[in-house]
Amino acid sequence: MAPPVVDRLQGKRYRAAGPVPFGYDLVVDDEGLKWYEPDQEALGKLREAIEFIRSGQHSLRVTSEWLEQQTGRKLSGQGLSRLSWSKEEKAQRKKVRYKGLTKEQKRLADLKVVQRNAEIRAKKANTRIQKLQEKVSNNLPDSVVEDQDDQVTSDATEGADVIFKPNPGPQTDFLASTEREVFYGGARGGGKTYSLLIAPLRFVGFSTSRALLLRRSMPELRDIIFQTQQIYPKVVPGAKFKGQENTWHFPNGARIEFGYCENLQDALRYQGQSYSWIGVDELPQYNTPDIWNFLRSSLRSADTRIPLHLRATGNPGNVGSKWVKELFIEPAMPNTRFAEKVEYSVAGKSFSTEITRKFIPASVWDNPYLTQDEGYVAMLASLPEVKRQQFLYGNWDAVDDGAFPDFSREDHVVEPFDIPSGWTKLRGADYGYSSPSAVLWGAVDYDGVLWIYRELYAQGMTGSDLGRRIIEEEWEDGTINRASLDSSTWAKRGTRGPSIAEDINAQGCRFTPSDRSPGSRVSGKVQIHKRLKVNEETGEPMIRIFDTCTQLIRQLTSLPVDKNNPEDVDTKAEDHAYDALRYMLDLRPINVMTAYDKIPKKRWVPSDARFGY
């Protein structure tokens, strides 16, 4: 049984019974029991509204509209009145209001109240009549209307006011994307969230369309709902928002639902539901991809006319930026369609399909309405360096406490090309079985610049397997002049058999042990910084990396510094490709040909010029 109004205003959780009261959300616990969970912020606004009413500052209508704007939840004036005054207080107020009036005057006041209530009911009836007339326009039968409500024609928009027009560039690309999963992310102020509100409207012409838009918390969701209340009724006349369900209902039956999802337990509310369109605002706020993967199971529709879309937006610099970057940004260049191949078997039959994705980068300059105000851009530009890179430039490589802030894709990453035969080739490797093994190949040009042109990153390989794989990869490379491998692989841990390094070398790889003396880690990191630094005279760094070396690039952009030793990287983070690069730099890379040319040559002179000896 629901508690009295006074208890509900105190914001206590209680068992679900009857309609969901204002300021509460329906939740289901682990045992399947339903509860009404208080939204303290909404209840706080409700208390303010009640104070407005009791103090006589505003009318019920004005206060009800204010409360809806503040919370995104709808409460009628009558409902607000019931919460503001007890029955005894209402009776007392009526006595005070009628005090000194004659019997006829009291009767007249009562009739005016009846008249006002009748006018309200008549207004609601007129609204229903208009909706019904729209449905049966041109005297068509309902069956014909249902067949035609899915058709969107250009004639319907001729001469109409333009309610929304996407900005040219990324916003238009996002709304027109046909890939299954699309992430629209980058700098702040690019119009990402607004695009996410507009995107599901593309399909409300289909009566079977059902969309879901999520934010991490309820307060964040209210702001989105408020924005839709300014747009949706203008786009689709007759659209109605039901606050208790947080759902827009369209005249033909289409729906757009709004929800919050803070953790995987919240996501279970959508288990078994079917949506043809799902959007997540600020996806990187989730520290793991678990919720995103769970939502995939709800993306389905029996109507084959409606494409299935999973959409997300977000900014770099959040707890989940790393996995979002790995899923959407690293696999392909921006604005490029790519696919993940999925293979599975059912009842002994093998099947293969693919999930198409795309990353669309956002920039504050995409939004002409914001860039008109130089103050907003100036504010972003005034932020600390890492935040400026993230929020102003949308740089996904910029991380707080990053070990290599001097690394940039623009300066250090290049497209592959054929390595000239005169360049000196090197190899560096870090071995792992449960953890990945990382092998890098580099070449030193005639100016001493190190070019990392290939990487191998694999798990579950024995020393012999890794050795054979290395030989296969470099079969056409020619001579590898020098190679360095983690020196711990030479250790024989309580066995009489060959070490891991001996197994690798036995395949013909010929590694030498890396330097693991005290201070070698710090000196190796310093060598990387030295090569990353851009020469002021030439404008070029001393190391370049092919864009096919994705693991090395990822680790250089995401490796954090060790909190206990800021001169080293955090060894608990994934650093295998970084270690392989560090071992390669132990070899002091130089070009053999140019090094030979620079050696002073002493010309032989015969002691007796006459006889030549």
pLDDT of residue 159: 45
Q: Residue 596's pLDDT is what?
A: 55
Report whether pLDDT(228) > 80.
yes
Q: Classify 331 in phi/psi space as left (phi over 0), alpha (psi -120 to 50) or beta.
A: alpha
* 525 sits in which H/E element: helix 520-532
- What are the residues facing 442 on neighbouring strands? 426, 452
Rounded mean pLDDT, 235-242: 92
DSSP per residue, 307-374: PPEEEEEE-SSSTTHHHHIIIIISSS-TT--EEEEEEEEETTEEEEEEEEEEEEEE-GGG-HHHHT-H
Mean pLDDT in residue range 522-534:
93
Mean of the pLDDT values across residues 47-67? 82
Q: Report the candidate in 60, 289, 70, 318 with the shortest Cα–Cα distance to residue 181.
A: 289
pTM beyond 0.75: the answer is no
pLDDT in the model for residue 139: 42
More confident residue, 428 or 49: 428
Q: What are the pLDDT digits (tens) for 280-299?
A: 999 999 988 999 999 999 99
599 CB burial (10 A radius; 0-12, 13-18, 19+): exposed
Question: CB–CB of 446/594 below 8 Å?
Answer: yes
Domains 174-391 and 409-596 belong to one CATH topology: no
CATH topology of domain 174-391: Rossmann fold (3.40.50)
Task: Compute the distance between CA of residue 398 and CA of residue 380 in angstroms, rounded to an integer.
Answer: 15
Q: How confident is the model at residue 518 (pLDDT cuts 50, 70, 90)?
A: confident
pLDDT of residue 609: 62
What is the residue extent of each domain of the chain?
5-88, 174-391, 409-596
Contacts of 239 (CB under 8 A, 6+ apart): 232, 233, 248, 249, 250, 251
pLDDT of residue 584: 95
Q: What is the pLDDT of residues 248-275, one digit of tens each?
A: 999 999 999 999 998 888 888 888 899 9
Pick the closest to residue 404 from 543, 252, 239 (CA basis).
Answer: 543
Confidence of residue 397 (pLDDT cuts 50, 70, 90): confident
Q: What is the pLDDT of residues 543-561, one digit of tens each?
A: 999 999 999 998 998 888 8
36 contacts 25 by C-beta, under 8 angstroms: yes
The structure tokens listed for 433 are: 């079985």
Q: Tell how many helices (H) and how many strands (E) occur in the chain.
A: 23, 19
Average pLDDT of the chain is: 84
Task: Give the pLDDT score at 581.
Answer: 96
Q: Beta partners for 249?
A: 240, 255
Per-residue pLDDT for 6 more than 70? no
CATH fold for the domain made of 409-596: Nucleotidyltransferase; domain 5 (3.30.420)
5-14, 106-115, 514-523, range with the lowest pLDDT: 5-14
Residue 2 burial (C-beta neighbours within 10 Å; 0-12, 13-18, 19+): middle
Bigger pLDDT: 57 vs 386:
386
pLDDT digits (tens, 9 = 90+) for 113-142: 777 777 777 776 777 677 666 655 444 344
Closest CA to 446 of 427, 426, 478, 423: 423
